[in-house]
A and B are shown apart, each in its own frame.
Chain A
């Protein structure tokens, strides 16, 4: 008895320490994934189906975060949305408060690094849709937007879904850019990945191990869920 009670107490304390990073990470990754889904699919469609001046540059810009070191992305984002940044200035004027070191900043970081995964997966899937099906819909009087929603996206849904899962996983694991942009404020911006680093640095191996196990579990869950979902779509 004497041994069990302190153990339970330890676990409750641990749970308390784990709960915030876990919920924050899921929240940030979810918001980021929703944004990535909405914008990424549109960007992918435009890249796949339209030619315009500066298209190559635009494609390069969207894909760049895939190869840039996360700290470089973080630095560039600070320049962009920091208090004195190009966009950050406007945000400050409008809301009266900066965006740095908030959970919204973590969303921006996660969004930037996971968008290219979505765009690439969705673009490949959209390019694989037979263009004649789209022409058939145009001939039946459907506008381009209607056709994209009725024909193209439903037929590209497997690629889009794969992109979504990759983006979510990338957002959950985001570390470098988030650290630069949102910092490591306990109870405010300490996501799972960042908490693992802090716990490890502080020598709190138990906490680090618990967080690591949870992250592995989330990743496995995401993969198995997609496997099932995609399997159902194929049937």
Chain B
């Protein structure tokens, strides 16, 4: 059950997909398996997310590989199977909705119900209108709908023919925050209710972590990492993933010094800095990169004294404080080794401690939150 994708697609010249043009010799090389769950595809633009959707749906032909959805083979190079788009039975919501502008909402939804009995068809349309709470839009035309309404109609149309898999290409990119959050909830509910695999493309990190059962990270056409959001967030496997999940403090000059059996942690040496981490998966001598999410750096007053000698606490100088609404972004320099860190700290905290640029304080890098991966 579920979906199995293992595909390869090479573009040798400039191929245009929508507004974007994919540069020369781009290779899409992705392989993953998923159950009836919600998987978010996450990656920068041009990383091949939409191309992957076009391959799964059959809009773009593949060079190599195999795509299976619910035991139905969509594509298999070896067996020379290439199911036509019409037979794939998938729901696809395009980035710009692609509602048929000359058809009413009802006609749009009916379009996918080819060959249904008249009564069954009417019933299904009503069911879809109810499901997405858009009963009152039935007779309207796409030009008379707001962005959020268009999105709902596009979803209703995609789900009406009972697809076996749903592909959503940045469905919320043009919507404002309020509707975004509401629709995200809706999609999560729908996935649980209908119980089909849903693939969801987004550029928005928060959305990705909020919605996903699993996240697939794409970078330059290649799948970088696939797993649960927490796993991706705290255990990125390489630099691309670490950067994509917003870890801005990354240093690649470290190596593993030793395992400390007593405290069950590993000691890294990064320049003059000693750093303790919780994982045991690296061998002494391994060259590694490490990083920490700006939100996982805690600032402490210089007179703070810890009972635990193993913690990563360092003297830092505050270089700069930028106001970012509820948070402040603080640039720090480690006093001992001249490394620069970026921390994001609740504004209230900074105000109450009366921190200013030039001050010296302590920064704590939570051992469990330090991210380490093999140097690429």
Could you list which residues of chain A lie within 8 angstroms of chain B, going by C-beta atoms? 130, 132-133, 135-143, 146, 150-151, 154-155
Contact = CB atoms under 8 A, between A and B. Distances in A.
B90 A139 contact: yes
B282 interface: no
Given A139-B57, A141-B114, A155-B101, A132 B86 contact: no
A145 to B, nearest CB: 11
B85 A136 contact: no
Nearest to A132: B98
A140 B101 CA distance: 16
Contact of A136 (B94, B114, B161): B94
A138 B86 contact: yes
A149 to B, nearest CB: 12
A133 B114 contact: no
Contact of A142 (B91, B101, B114): B114
Residue of A135, A140, A142, A150 with most partner-chain B CB within 10 A: A140
A135 B101 CA distance: 15
A154 B102 contact: yes
Contact of A140 (B96, B102, B112): B112
Contact of B96 (A132, A135, A143, A151): A132
Contacts of A137: 100, 111
Contacts of B92: 135-136, 139
Contact of A143 (B59, B86, B88, B161): B86
Contact of A130 (B89, B98, B157): B98
A contact patch SS: helix
A120 B114 CA distance: 33
Interface of B: 18, 57, 59, 85-86, 88-92, 94, 96, 98, 100-102, 111-112, 114, 157, 161
Given A135-B94, A136-B98, 17 more contacts: A132-B18, A132-B94, A132-B96, A133-B98, A137-B100, A139-B88, A139-B90, A139-B91, A139-B92, A140-B114, A141-B86, A141-B112, A141-B114, A142-B111, A146-B114, A151-B100, A154-B102
Contacts of B18: 132
A140 B98 contact: no
B94 A141 contact: no
Contacts of A151: 100
A219 to B, nearest CB: 30
Closest 7 CB pairs of A and B: A140-B112, A138-B85, A136-B98, A139-B92, A132-B98, A141-B86, A154-B102
21 contacts: A132-B18, A132-B96, A132-B98, A135-B94, A136-B100, A137-B111, A138-B59, A138-B86, A139-B88, A139-B91, A140-B111, A140-B112, A140-B114, A140-B161, A141-B114, A142-B86, A143-B86, A146-B114, A150-B100, A150-B111, A154-B102
B102 A139 contact: no
Nearest to A140: B112
Contacts, number: 50
Task: Among B94, B98, B157, find the residue whose CB has the most chain A CB atoms closer than 10 A.
Answer: B98
Contacts of A135: 57, 59, 85, 92, 94, 98
A65 B101 CA distance: 36
Contacts of A136: 92, 94, 98, 100
A136 B89 CA distance: 12
A66 to B, nearest CB: 30
A129 B85 CA distance: 19
Contacts of B111: 137, 140, 142, 150
B85 A139 contact: yes
B258 to A, nearest CB: 57
Q: Which of A130, A132, A137, A150 has the most CB of B within 10 A?
A: A132
A9 B92 CA distance: 73
A135 B88 CA distance: 13
Contacts of B114: 140-142, 146
Contacts of A154: 102
Nearest to A137: B111
Nearest to A146: B114
Contacts of A155: 101-102
A133 B98 CA distance: 5
Contacts of B59: 135, 138
Nearest to A139: B92
Contact of B161 (A130, A141, A150): A141
Contacts of A143: 86
A101 B112 CA distance: 52
B90 A133 contact: no
